[in-house]
Amino acid sequence: MNSTQQNSFDTLVVGGGIAGLQSALDLADQGYKVAVIEKDASIGGKMIRLSKVFPTLDCASCITTPKMASAAHHDNITLFTRCNLNSLNSIEIKGSSSNNSQGKISTSSGSQDKTAPSSGCHGKGSSGVTASITQMPRYVDADKCIGCRKCEYVCPVYRPDPEQGGFSATKAISIPFSNAIPQLAVLEPEYCMLCGQCEKVCPTQAIDYFQKPETFTLSAKTAIIATGFEMTPLKNKVQYGCGEIPNVIDALQMERLLAPHGPFNRVLRPWDGMEPDSIAYIQCAGSRDKSMGVSYCSRVCCMYAIKQAMLLAGALPLADVTIYYMDIRAFGKGYEQFYQNAKAMGIEFIKGKVARIDGGDNGSAIVRFENQQDGTITENTHDLVVLSLGMTPGWNPNGICPVSTAEDRFITSIQPKMSPVLTTMEGVFVTGAAAGPKDIVDTITESGSAAMEAARYMTAKGQMANATSNGAAA
């Protein structure tokens, strides 16, 4: 994309996870032109990386992939992947503008591969937003790349695959995962040794080692912040080994082990490839802990641990699965029954706070905890330990956007009971985990609310602009 070109839309959606996609689709189906800005090379967010969802145990990919495809092929949605948001500010738009140019999927080269009409008409004197965005290089020309993966097949350099929790390897140049959208290769320059093999084999000469970041601007009438969450880092918990103890992993890594297209196609210990006989879950490993700066409950940890424990009981029927917890917070519809089903399956629940984890023999982990039932200090040894880490904001607006944040660093909702998607910025809305920890069901529901509020805002602004114009004419 030309750095001097400015494209106009009705709504900018910051974040291409399930929250952003749902809001974008709801608005696009009403005829609004939507731009989705995503920092990763593919849309889909955290949900596309999950194995199944609770409490129905439906396939996460089966839910997310159709929404990803719908967004990619929707005439009213333009995807900007591998993009960093530099600024998002309110503007006052004077007069009306008309932009009949075609919006497209923006990719690493700034060139584009999907046409979609772009709308830029604003009411006279209406407010809007403008975003400065940097397109990060893929080192692959998106106009030429056909997703054949020949570059990936011939690349001699292997690197840890972050899409598989770091448990398996991928190439220095590769498509992120099998159902990634867009299906375009990305070259990671820190691993590339410039052997030129990918350039030689590419049938469309799409490899471009000299791509550079490009900055461009988008403007819109409204914006929806759907930046999601990150997990609290393993390294921040000294008592749990700072991520250095073998076979102590986090919940997202376990999601990949449980996934049918995971790194091992079965559940194995990452340290030695052994099938674990005893698996432990440590609840509140990154939540309700002031020492980590996360004093709040992350809401989903109990349920995803129970979900994974039930899946493990099916994948490893002879294994013992234990969940160490302070409180089980099964608050949603069907969640309490889900919890009761897990207990009926033989999953052991121990009410106790784990004080520390130490490495044991043969890659095992020793869990030291206080049993809150009888007050005793006990040590148990497990083959594999999973930490139920908490949720922290996926984006810090400081210096980028003047929207306010709460003490927990999530985006502030000014009407949490009546309309939780409203923020302190006019015309800017928030949805999903960007506003605070929540599960997928609540995220999708809130995303529809954000789309409704954005549509209502644009309709009201349009009516005001028409009334002003008619008054001036009279």
In the chain the domains, ranked by start, together with CATH numbers, are: 6-137+212-228+394-473 (3.50.50.60), 150-201 (no CATH), 232-391 (3.50.50.60)
CA distance 59 to 181: 18
The average pLDDT across 206-214 equals 96
CA distance 141 to 112: 9
The average pLDDT across 411-426 equals 95
Element holding 314 (H helix, E strand): helix 301-315
Look at 9-18, 86-95, 105-114, 201-210 and tell me which has the smallest mean pLDDT: 105-114
pLDDT of residue 469: 64
Choice between 125 and 425, residue whose per-residue pLDDT is larger: 425
CB 136 within 8 Å of CB 113 = no
pLDDT of residue 404: 96
DSSP one-letter code for 200 = H
The average pLDDT across 226-255 equals 92
On the question of pLDDT at 215 being above 70, the answer is: yes
pLDDT of residue 474: 54
On the question of pLDDT at 19 being above 70, the answer is: yes
pLDDT of residue 136: 97
Residue the block writes with tokens 């910025």: 425
On the question of pLDDT at 82 being above 60, the answer is: yes
CA distance 66 to 54: 19
Residue 373 pLDDT level (bands cut at 50, 70, 90):
confident
DSSP one-letter code for 106 = B
Q: Convert the pLDDT of each residue in 344-362 to its tens digit.
A: 999 999 999 999 999 999 9
CA distance 80 to 103: 10
Looking at beta carbons, which pairs linking 74-77 to residues 24 or more positions away fall under 8 Å?
A: 74/24, 74/25, 74/28, 74/116, 75/28, 75/116, 75/117, 76/27, 76/28, 76/29, 76/31, 76/32, 76/33, 76/34, 76/116, 76/117, 77/24, 77/25, 77/28, 77/34, 77/35, 77/36, 77/116
Choice between 466 and 350, residue whose per-residue pLDDT is larger: 350
On the question of pLDDT at 192 being above 80, the answer is: yes
Quote the tokens at residue 452: 């409704």
CB 75 within 8 Å of CB 118 = no
CA distance 474 to 469: 9
CA distance 204 to 198: 11
Look at 136-145, 222-231, 291-300 and tell me which has the smallest mean pLDDT: 291-300
pLDDT of residue 466: 67
pLDDT of residue 123: 38
pLDDT of residue 291: 83
CB 325 within 8 Å of CB 280 = no
Residue 235 pLDDT level (bands cut at 50, 70, 90):
confident
Q: Which residues contact 115 (CB under 8 A, 6 or more apart)?
A: 102, 103, 104
Residue 470 pLDDT level (bands cut at 50, 70, 90):
low
Q: Convert the pLDDT of each residue in 88-142 to its tens digit.
A: 999 875 543 333 333 344 443 443 343 333 333 333 345 799 999 999 999 999 9
Classify 284 in phi/psi space as left (phi over 0), alpha (psi -120 to 50) or beta: left
The average pLDDT across 157-162 equals 96
pLDDT of residue 461: 86
Quote the tokens at residue 167: 């448990």
pLDDT of residue 471: 62
CB 79 within 8 Å of CB 113 = no
CA distances from 406 to 295, 396, 436, 446 (A): 13, 11, 10, 19
pLDDT of residue 398: 96
On the question of pLDDT at 406 being above 90, the answer is: yes
What integer best gives the mean pLDDT of the chain? 90
